[in-house]
Amino acid sequence: MEPTSMITDNIAELLVKVIEFTHTRQKVITHNIRNIHRPGFIPADLAVDEFSDSLNIAINEHARSRCLVLYDSENIKFGAEGNFEVKPTTDHQSLNLLKKSPDEYLETQIGKLLENSINQRVATELLKRKHGMVSIFEHHPNS
């Protein structure tokens, strides 16, 4: 791993990163679905495992020192001002599936989109709770 490029004391920063990551991934997966019939199309995805590893390291560091340390990886770069970049990579597994069975490919992409949406929704909900905002999932007496 490369040296740290961002250090923060707020766990909410991680939730914001998850929301940003899942928002970007949604665009990539949607692009994969829209271009299924384009000749020569090569599906992409974000480095989910790299992102997850970065968050796990940051959470462990936060538990140890109460400070978040975010490390760059090959496809994810954290900026000094709190921003970060994720680089889409070729999704070889999806490419092979697309060649073998477009229907299975489409089903897999939809599954990824649903999983990603759930991750985004959970991160958003946790961030709302952290900031004391009313949950969209809470039961209201009039509903």
| Number of domains composing the chain | 1
- pLDDT of 143: 42
Q: Please indicate, yes or no, if residue 141 is contained in any of the structural domains.
A: no
- pLDDT of 139: 47
Q: Please indicate, yes or no, if residue 142 is contained in any of the structural domains.
A: no
Parent domain of 105: 4-130
Report the C-alpha gap between 123 and 67 in whole angstroms. Answer: 19
Q: Please indicate, yes or no, if residue 71 is contained in any of the structural domains.
A: yes
Alpha helices in 2-101 (DSSP H): 12-34, 48-65, 92-100
- Asked if the model's pLDDT at residue 58 lies above 90, the reply is no
- pLDDT of 3: 45
Residue 38: HSE in the Cβ half-sphere, 13 Å Cα cutoff: 10
Residue with tokens 């970007």: 24
- Asked if the model's pLDDT at residue 140 lies above 60, the reply is no
* Share of the chain residues as helix, strand and coil, in percent rounded to the nearest 5: 55, 15, 30
Q: What are the tens digits of pLDDT across the range 81-133?
A: 778 899 999 999 999 999 999 999 999 999 999 999 999 999 999 999 887 77
SS3 76: strand
Instruction: Give percent of the chain with pLDDT exceeding 90.
Output: 59
Q: Please indicate, yes or no, if residue 68 is contained in any of the structural domains.
A: yes
- 54 or 107: which carries more pLDDT confidence? 107
- pLDDT of 134: 57
Residue 76, C-beta contacts closer than 8 angstroms, at least 6 positions apart: 47, 50, 51, 54, 84, 85, 86, 87
Report the C-alpha gap between 129 and 111 in whole angstroms. Answer: 27
- Asked if the model's pLDDT at residue 9 lies above 90, the reply is no
Q: Please indicate, yes or no, if residue 43 is contained in any of the structural domains.
A: yes
